[in-house]
Each structure stands twice: as structure tokens, then as C-alpha cells.
Amino acid sequence: METYCKFETALDILTGKWKPVILLNLFNNGTLRFSELQKAIPDITKKMLAQQLRELEYHDIVRREVYPQVPPKVEYSISAYGRRIAPVLQAMNDWGVGHIEHMNELYGEERKAESFPGN
């Protein structure tokens, strides 16, 4: 009765329109400045980028380093603790890859796996 009881915690932290792509960029590139993240994610606004980074930082997934200089320079990276979430992302990714195939088998290639009629 206790199994999976806390998987909602991971869900809460990863949920957010831009968190996946932010994490992806930081995992792949190591360290990025605020402006570099903006360039890597062209459609994100400064507000959302800052907000989602704050949340990830609060949960100690992302590390924020401020260089006290003018103009400001702030670098973001996955924290040491944050790397512990990698296996979770990997498991989700592996399942996701298989699931997209499964959806194609069920509904055909023309319909996207993530979509749900009415969404």
C-alpha cells in the first residue's frame, strides 16, 4: 500500500512547461549562462526562464552561480545532488520512446503519441 506513494513528488518537481527542456540543456551542456539558455530555448520568455530556474534551484536540482560584476553574469548547471535524478529521467525516457511506438501501433503514425483528443 506504500509502493509508489511518493512518485507524485518527482512529478511535482518536473512538471512545468519548460522544465524538461531546461534540464535537458543543462544535462547536455554542463554549464550555461542565463542568456545562453534563452538562446537555446528561443520561445521561452525571460520571466518563465527565471521562474522555472528558481523552482529547480529551490529543489536543489539546479545550481545558480552569480558573478558579482557589471554587466551581471549568472551561470546555471545541474547540482551534484541534481544528478541523482538522471536515472529517473532515463527510465521515463526509455518508457516514453517505447510508448510513442505503442501509440503509433494503436492509433497510427498520423496522431501524435502525447496528444489526447480534445487537448
Partner DNA sequence: CAGCATCCCATACGATACTG
Partner DNA sequence: CAGTATCGTATGGGATGCTG
Task: Kindly state the smallest distance separating residue 23's Cβ from DNA, in Å.
Answer: 14
- Residue number with CB closer to its own copies (58 or 73): 58
Q: Convert residues 30-69 into a mask of x (bound to DNA by CB under 7 A) and - (unbound).
A: ---xxxx------xxxxxx-xx-xx---------x-----
Residue recorded with cell 507524485:
8
Q: Does 16 bind DNA (CB under 7 A)?
A: yes
Half-sphere exposure of 72 (CA within 13 A, CB side): 8
**Furthest-apart CA atoms within the chain: distance in Å:** 56
Nearest to DNA of 9, 45 (CB atom): 45
Residues 6+ apart with CB under 8 A from 50: 34
CB of 68 to DNA, least distance (A): 11
**With CB under 8 A, what is the number of residues at the site for its own copies?**
47
The DSSP H or E segment spanning 82 is none
Number of helices (H) and strands (E), helices first, in the chain?
5, 3
Which residues contact DNA by CB under 7 A?
15-18, 33-36, 43-48, 50-51, 53-54, 64, 71-74, 119
